[in-house]
Structure 1
Amino acid sequence: MPSSPAISPTFAALPTSPATTPDTQALQEHVRSGLTRTPKTLSSMYFYDEVGSRLFQQIMQLPEYYPTRTEFGLMTEHRHAIAAALMPANGVPLHLLELGAGDGLKTKILLRELLSQQANFTYAPVDISPSALDELRQSLEQELPELRVQPLTAEYTAALPTLREQPGRKAVLFLGSNIGNFLPADRLQFLRQLAQPLAPDDRLFVGFDLRKDPRVIQAAYDDAQGVTAAFNLNLLHRLNRELGADFQVDQWQHFAQYNPLDGAMRSFLVSRRAQQVHVAALGQSFAFEAWEAIHTENSYKFTLPQIEALAAEAGLQVLEVFTDEQAWFADVLLAPVGK
């Protein structure tokens, strides 16, 4: 599950760019493609309408959902070292660009630390949701009025080229466990995209959810209160609202399963009975057999050797790894090589 509405993105279920803006036209084509596949699939990038974003805020507060609080804790513990690792020497300006900024909960830890060290920096949060960015801007104005903020409503591929225009060191933040939402080939391609506009002195700071007790992971994506189920099922409500679909949502159920062999947490929407669903915006109906599934999300978990190998393949080197005491999560500082 993405840890912020960037999430926002992913993109693992279909070969959809994580930077694709989820407008109605794109949603229509995505649904047409995804529901005519075998097996059927929809991307979790479409989880984050207004209702979905609120539900995800609730998920982050659940006792079972460890990623947010674990990363929050490790960033709090290591905030001084992380800030020092990101800051360039001799007062050179730092341009901090965050992809899928969301509510900025964890990022504010770093921003406060950089301000306390009187760093010369600008924060540029990027999100595809104008309302999310506006809420973040307002909260930053209240909590950190001295902060220089340059919000950017854009898809990722549009935001990355702006780095070349910035003086000094550039650092790209991709926090949470968003990188785990990509299929392996897409993940490598995305990291290469992130590395492409970076100079040797620039930095990339990425969050990775690490492998751990499978039961802990399973519970995080299938909580006892059913909030994660509501979050997944809201995708069907969204298709009803925006595309005139007639999903009978009570005839569907959320199912999540973790595979410790490949480190993939997979989520599905499962049809409780044989049924036909009509999508008015497409002028098309889709047949579902009893207990047929729509694959909606992947969330891969990693080992540290995997991260090292992935970085090397993407043309990056691992400079530092920051983890919590249980080694459940890692925020990894990367730099481009061979430039």
Structure 2
Amino acid sequence: MEENAESRLTSHKVPARLPVQDILEDASAGLIDAPRFMPPKYFYDERGSQLFDAICETREYYPTRTEEALLQVCARDIIEQLRPDHIVEFGSGTARKTRHLFDACDRAGETTSYWPFDVCEEMLRDSGQQLVEEYEWLQVNALVGDYHGGLAGLPPREGRCLYLFLGGTIGNFTGEEAAAFLDEVRAIMRPGDGLLLGADRVKDAGVLHAAYNDESGVTARFNLNLLQVLNRELDAEFCDTNFEHRALFNAEASQIEMYLVSRCRQSVHIGALDRTLELEDGERILTEISRKFTPARLESLLNDAGLAIQRHFEPDNGWFSLVLAGPEGGPVTQS
């Protein structure tokens, strides 16, 4: 008898083994003194998540559709090479792109279990329910937690694992944060496991500028929505009409930097901190970095963590990289 869908969906709380600051602590550390900043994880409330989905549909924003097109082409090769018993995805979201790997499992006659790891339990359960209904063989074990809190608390898994870190999210980390995260991933990998990593590439500055400053203003609304998150969560008094979105490419650091820029001299009270920010006209709050990689820098980052690239998939224009890396080395194949 076919196993019912409900029995193939479970959830697990993943305890943080490393300190994870909450929004109050991050605001205290990042907003009180210049240079001011907030981590990008606070973009993704319900409205922010909807706006990001809209960003992905804009003409200028190439990363999502480029990565998805690569996955569509290379998923079968990845599944046939690794034949994973488990697929573990960090920052899984709605698993939209991951379905290409499940389709490849279907075609190859492979069964695997899926371990999506994200902070929102409701989103994980909703997307997990859709997945077990779409794929009658799939077991979904949702992992509720923040991967910034460490990976040592993940439940045990027997068999070969394919770890996913897609979307170019590695570029939102500083160099030190990226190195620390990949060290953690390497620590939980065993011989035969693989890491599929998506990374955006260095390219023409005009292309990058357009991707983060779309003509329809969706990215601007996404960035400004952070102020509403701060107002709601911290009893703050930010007025979004007093700020403007600005994204620029820092060529020296090879990264996009996204800011909220004060349009006037203003005072902003934050009730939860019992502090008032005094902002000058033109003063900036850094809300996100998005680092861009060359193939050599990407390989060096992985090698420093004890990982070797086994397959490298890229489009003809070289705008994005999907790399399959493992702890055991092996020849690099350009695809």
What's the TM-score, normalizing by structure 1? 0.88
> Cα distance 1:164–1:150, how it changes in 2: closer, same or farther (>3 A)?
closer
1:117 aligns with 2:108: yes
- 2:93 match: 102
- 1:9 match: none
Q: In the TM superposition, what is the alpha-carbon distance from 1:145 to its structure 2 partner?
A: 3.1
- 1:142 match: 133
288-297 or 321-330, which deviates more:
321-330
- 1:91 match: none
- 1:78 match: 74
Q: Show CA shifts across 1:248-276 (max 9, x none).
A: 11000000001233310000000001111
> Cα distance 1:268–1:311, how it changes in 2: closer, same or farther (>3 A)?
same
Matched residue type, 1:73:
A
- 2:35 match: 39
The Cα RMSD (Å) is 1.9
Matched residue type, 1:53:
S
| Unaligned segments of structure 1, at least 5 residues | 1-16, 89-93
Matched residue type, 1:29:
E
Q: In the TM superposition, what is the alpha-carbon distance from 1:163 to its structure 2 partner?
A: 5.5
Question: In 1, are the aligned partners of 2:93 and 2:124 still within 8 Å (CA)?
Answer: yes
Q: In the TM superposition, what is the alpha-carbon distance from 1:201 to its structure 2 partner?
A: 1.8
What's the TM-score, normalizing by structure 2? 0.89
Question: In 2, are the aligned partners of 1:97 and 1:124 still within 8 Å (CA)?
Answer: yes
Question: In 1, are the aligned partners of 2:151 and 2:185 still within 8 Å (CA)?
Answer: yes
Pairwise mapping of residues 1-339 of structure 1 onto structure 2 (< 5 A)?
Answer: 26-87=22-83, 94-156=85-147, 160-161=151-152, 165-337=156-328
Q: In the TM superposition, what is the alpha-carbon distance from 1:39 to its structure 2 partner?
A: 0.5
Question: In 1, are the aligned partners of 2:82 and 2:192 still within 8 Å (CA)?
Answer: no
Matched residue type, 1:49:
D
Q: In the TM superposition, what is the alpha-carbon distance from 1:86 to its structure 2 partner?
A: 2.5
Supply the distance in 2 between the matched residues of 1:135 and 1:164 (Cα, whole angstroms): 21
Matched residue type, 1:247:
F
The SS at the match of 1:327 is coil
The SS at the match of 1:101 is coil
> Cα distance 1:202–1:46, how it changes in 2: closer, same or farther (>3 A)?
same
| Unaligned segments of structure 2, at least 5 residues | 1-15, 330-335
Matched residue type, 2:248:
Q
The SS at the match of 1:176 is coil
Question: In 1, are the aligned partners of 2:162 and 2:193 still within 8 Å (CA)?
Answer: yes
Question: In 1, are the aligned partners of 2:231 and 2:237 still within 8 Å (CA)?
Answer: yes
Number of residues of Structure 1 aligned to a counterpart in Structure 2: 313
> Cα distance 1:182–1:159, how it changes in 2: closer, same or farther (>3 A)?
closer
Supply the distance in 1 between the matched residues of 2:111 and 2:50 (Cα, whole angstroms): 34
Q: In the TM superposition, what is the alpha-carbon distance from 1:164 to its structure 2 partner?
A: 6.8
Q: In the TM superposition, what is the alpha-carbon distance from 1:135 to its structure 2 partner?
A: 2.4
Supply the distance in 1 between the matched residues of 2:142 and 2:62 (Cα, whole angstroms): 28
Supply the distance in 2 between the matched residues of 1:117 and 1:37 (Cα, whole angstroms): 55
Give the percent of matched residue pairs that are identical in Structure 1 and Structure 2: 38
Question: In 2, are the aligned partners of 1:21 and 1:128 still within 8 Å (CA)?
Answer: no
Supply the distance in 1 between the matched residues of 2:267 and 2:157 (Cα, whole angstroms): 52
Supply the distance in 2 between the matched residues of 1:130 and 1:168 (Cα, whole angstroms): 26
> Cα distance 1:185–1:253, how it changes in 2: closer, same or farther (>3 A)?
same
